[in-house]
Amino acid sequence: MTIKARTALITGISGQDGAYLARILVDRGYAVHGTSRSLSKANLTNLSRVRVRDDVKLHEVDYRDATQLEIFVGEHNFSHVFHLAAPSSVASSFLDPIGTIDSIVVCTQNLVRAIERSRYKTRFVNACSSECFGDVSEKANETTKFCPVSPYGIAKGAAHRLVERQRASGRWFSSAILFNHESPFRDPTFVTKKIIRGAIDASDGKIDYLELGNLDVVRDWGWAPEYMEAMALMGEQDQPQTFVVATGVHMKLTRFVELAFEYFGLDWTKFVHISPDLMRSADINVSVGDPKKIDLELGWRAKAKGPTLIELLIEAELGIHSREKPRFSL
């Protein structure tokens, strides 16, 4: 496939991952398209921040409308579809489980069917989630059984099965099982963003304390732009596959908080208050990925992990750039 033939659709293009992926694909010579239910209401700030707003073509499409979606896909010769669109909050999925399933499973099914019925040989790369695994006793890989504990994880798992079914029938459908990945584009409601902002504000004397919930959870946190590099790489392989995208490094949230405050020479215990109201009974205790397969087969390996990632997040939030850091420190 020549560079000129590369025309990509990114669903969820205005979100954290969509904006970074758009920048990566434009840099690689793709013609990039994105969609939104309402262009007049779409927040395009992230696209502007990665300086790609004028390089992508946006369309108003409702993925819940199967007929509209089929017409849209049929009118465009997309060489690649990167399916990122989905609610991003696991906690919110408990408040609206039906809406979560509608947004993830139904929309994915409609998109898959539209591609299936089009006359083009489109490559499809799906963004799955580590939430599908639930709690893990060891690092999760591509063969680890799904055991989700949230409506979000259940819906993502169902969407993943749709992709696997298409691949089994001979179509080019891949799935990236993405573990937690962060950037300055994270919504303020995410705990990582809350911690980074809290440490910055504490160092500036803007706050006296920061309220958090369970600090004993263990996660595998990565850098979002690197994870989108992995998805772009997946879309360019000869054969479609499923890959776990993770750092393979685990960290307790307590350590995350400690490192964030240490950056400013602060003792986190003097600022952090544990709030029972922020405790979630359905929280996954341990979530860590095994990225051996993607390392061995695609040569992808996360550079930003552990303390390096936290330093990068703080510097990105502050607007400090370093040539030694991974790309997109904005």
Q: Which residues are catalytic?
A: 129, 131, 152
* Helix, strand and coil percent figures for the chain, each rounded to 5: 45, 15, 40
Q: Is 141 helix (H, G, I), strand (E, B) or coil?
A: coil
Q: Is 64 helix (H, G, I), strand (E, B) or coil?
A: coil
* Alpha carbon 321 to its chain's center: 23
Pairing of β 222-223 and β 181-182: parallel
Distance CA 112, CA 80 (A): 12
* DSSP character at residue 179: P
CA atoms within 13 A on the CB side of 215: 15
β-strand partners of 126: 83, 175
Residue 177 · residue 129 · CB < 8 Å: yes
Distance CA 29, CA 94 (A): 40
E strands in the chain: 7-11, 31-36, 56-60, 80-83, 123-129, 173-178, 181-182, 210-212, 218-219, 222-223, 242-245, 251-252, 272-274, 286-287
* DSSP character at residue 281: T
Distance CA 14, CA 81 (A): 15
Residue 78 · residue 8 · CB < 8 Å: yes
**Quick one: CA dihedral 169, 170, 174, 177, positive or negative?**
positive
Pairing of β 173-178 and β 123-129: parallel
